[in-house]
Amino acid sequence: MKRLLVLVVALAALGLLLAGCGGEEKAEGKVLKIGTMSPLTGPYAADGNDIRQGAEIAVEVFTEAGGIEGFTKIEVFPQDTACDPKQAVAAANKLINEKVTGVVGAYCSSSTIPASETLAEENIIMLTPASTSPKVTERGLPYMFRTCGRDDHQAPAAVKFMKDVEGVKTIFIVDDKTTYSQGLAEGVAAAAVAAGIEVLEHDHVNQGDKDYSAVLTKVKSANPDLLYISLQNSATGALMVIQAKRLGITAILMGQDAVYHPKLMEIAKGDSEGMFCTFGAIDKDAPKYKEFQTKYKEKTGNEPGAYSAYSFDSATAYLMAVKAAGTTDPVKVREELMKLDFTGASKQVKYQENGDSGSNYTVYMIKDGQFVPYWNSLTGEKY
Amino acid sequence: MDLDFFLQQLINGITLGGLYALIALGYTMVYGIIQLINFAHGEFFAAGGYMGVILISYLASQGLHPYVCLGISLVLAMGYCALLAMAVERLAYKPLRQASRLAALLSALGMSIFLQNGLMLTQGVYDKAYPTEITSGGFQLGTISVSYMQIFIVGLTAALLVGLNLLVFKTRIGRAMRATSQDKIMSALVGINSNRIIAITFAVGAALAAAAGIMVGLYYGSVNYSMGFVPGIKAFAAAVLGGIGNITGALVGGLIIGMVEIFAAGYISGEYKDVFAFIILIGVLYFKPTGIMGENVDDTRV
């Protein structure tokens, strides 16, 4: 009896597998396939799912608006990179096998860079909504685009804010040793020294740590004017903020774009009040953003995450370019992408020759559980 | 650096060590009784943390006093994890009791992945936050900060430890546990239902892990589906360090790992804390393979 059961289950599983293969064959034809790459599991899953949903909503909006002539359907293939270079390359290969023509992603720069090289071999267009490392667009890949800002713009903006607005003289920097967080933290350290701010210490913690009491006790005894938190994840950022407040640290707290997420306030609550974060300026009162926000809430039940709007705009840009080109041929789509100049949910999207779309870092302050724009790095003025 | 700095780090270290010790107790008890390293133990800890946040949030929304919510949730979550552990034992370990140890170990690893993904799928990938009315608060001694949560963690750890000792050394169940861990066949011959005793051991270990899970949630403010993995490994190291199979050893091992971590992070750098914790472990295994408090566990006795 038991054996029979096992046999039935095994056959059923096999059947499913075969059915899966069969379905794929049928899907061929005039379907526009785009992929997303982001960490859907692991510690960065929050940002990763925001990216996936942003792209899916872009497709939905586009389809509702009539889709693209010549294509019966637009399909999204989400892939999990887990913020791991090896898995990102595997994901890229999977998308190549699915015959996608454009990819939105990835999240961690350390995944985006190797994945983009795999995709480049097949001339697939990649638009990253979240990777801020300068290297992403400095390698001269023709089909690599970036909708968010760059670290080498973010670090000086943060330091300028510390010096000009807050009059900070000493800082303590903590990062968690990822390509992104450490690179940015080093950028901040260098810019701070150049600006005459003393870096008391630049310490590191491990990814996924929950206990920061030891390093925060060090911060407390060093007594800096400002604690710069460069972690890869908003949830761990929230833990650091809670523990800092509990230890009685009075320094100004400042984070960066990976810490910037509504989940930060949800976890840290009152402890995060008055904290600063740098993030690209997104005008949340703009009609385009409002429209996107409504749609996002409707579909996911959540507020858009930090990178949702960038992801939405990346996917939209790609779909607009395909529509204008009338084909998925990468050369023609790239031409159309370069011509684009549209108001997205996140910002005015206009790609430059190297694939960047410019940085517009703004300092946000957490006030009453909301990120409130506080200081504009481009104009140097408070809002 | 000065004395205040040292004392503050000492308090941090004791708190963290106490948490590791509570998780390590489960590893040590299960190993003591069936010589199995239960890799799914960290997941009981995570499940306890989640159960805690769900119950506390629910009870708090019913208008109960935060500390009453905490007490009820603690008991219920410990009970829930005890049942979960008994189910896991029945499904994943009992059928393999006569099989090779490797099979049971792989089953444990599989269970760990299964439970972790189960948590992720049912509870979502986002962190869940504990209500702050309970988690905040504390006082200053000079420049040293002590939070109520730290006192609560140390106090509850001590209380649970005393309770566990009473259970193991003063009750009939405890006597049966000790007898089963010495010789399953002989103890069965004198009328001990060893299957039941093993299930109880799993349940007690998981209940302690659940308590640790809630305390971690309260102390750090949030829980996450993958939170069981790293503390699980650390607690395993603590159990081995103290002498796996030995209850006092788990406490000593937990405190040592917690202290080493905090002091390495405090005096050297945060990136080195895990390195030092595991250097100590490797050193102990090299020079005293049985662990600090351990006796020789005879492999042939199983």
pLDDT of A356 > 60? The answer is: yes
pLDDT of A317 > 60? The answer is: yes
The pLDDT score that the predictor gives to residue A255 is 95
Q: Across residues A132-147, what is the average pLDDT? A: 91
Residue A207, SS3?
A: coil
CB contact under 8 A, B226 and A208: yes
DSSP A43: T
The pLDDT score that the predictor gives to residue B85 is 95
Q: Is residue A250 within 8 angstroms of chain B, CB to CB? A: no
The minimal CB distance from A217 to the residues B12, B15, B135 is found for B12
The pLDDT score that the predictor gives to residue B251 is 92
pLDDT tens for each residue of A9-65 = 555 555 554 444 444 444 445 899 999 999 998 778 888 999 999 999 999 999 998
CB contact under 8 A, A43 and B224: yes
Q: How crowded is the C-beta side of A258, counted as CA atoms within 13 Å?
A: 31
The interface predicted TM-score (ipTM) is: 0.85
Q: Is residue B150 within 8 angstroms of chain A, CB to CB? A: no
Beta bridge partners of A32: A74
Q: Which of A45-49, A57-61, A219-223, B298-302 is least confident?
A: B298-302
Q: Across residues B88-92, what is the average pLDDT? A: 93
Closest among A274, A208, A203 to A241, alpha carbons compared? A274
Buried b (16+ CB within 10 A) or exposed e, A93-129: eebbeeebbbbbbbbbbbbbbbbbebbbeeebbbbbb
pLDDT tens for each residue of A237-286 = 999 999 999 888 999 999 999 999 888 998 898 899 999 999 988 888 88
Mean pLDDT score of chain B: 89
Q: Is residue A267 within 8 angstroms of chain B, CB to CB? A: yes
Separation of CA A343 from chain center: 19
Q: Across residues B244-250, what is the average pLDDT? A: 88
Q: Is residue A221 within 8 angstroms of chain B, CB to CB? A: yes
pLDDT tens for each residue of B279-296 = 888 888 888 888 887 765
Q: Across residues A295-322, what is the average pLDDT? A: 92
Structure tokens, A314:
């990346």
The pLDDT score that the predictor gives to residue B296 is 55
Give the C-alpha distances (Å, rounded to integers) separating B84 from A300, B81, B111, B138.
31, 5, 12, 34
The pLDDT score that the predictor gives to residue A105 is 84
Q: Across residues B81-86, what is the average pLDDT? A: 96
Closest among A333, A339, A330, A335 to A121, alpha carbons compared? A330
Which B residues in the span 4-33 are in contact with A, Cβ-Cβ below 8 Å? Answer: 4-5, 8-9, 12-13, 15-16
Mean pLDDT score of chain A: 89
CB contact under 8 A, B221 and A239: yes
Cα three-residue angle A295-A300-A304, rounded to 5 degrees: 65
For chain A, the straight-line distance linking the first and the last C-alpha, in angstroms and rounded, comes to 73
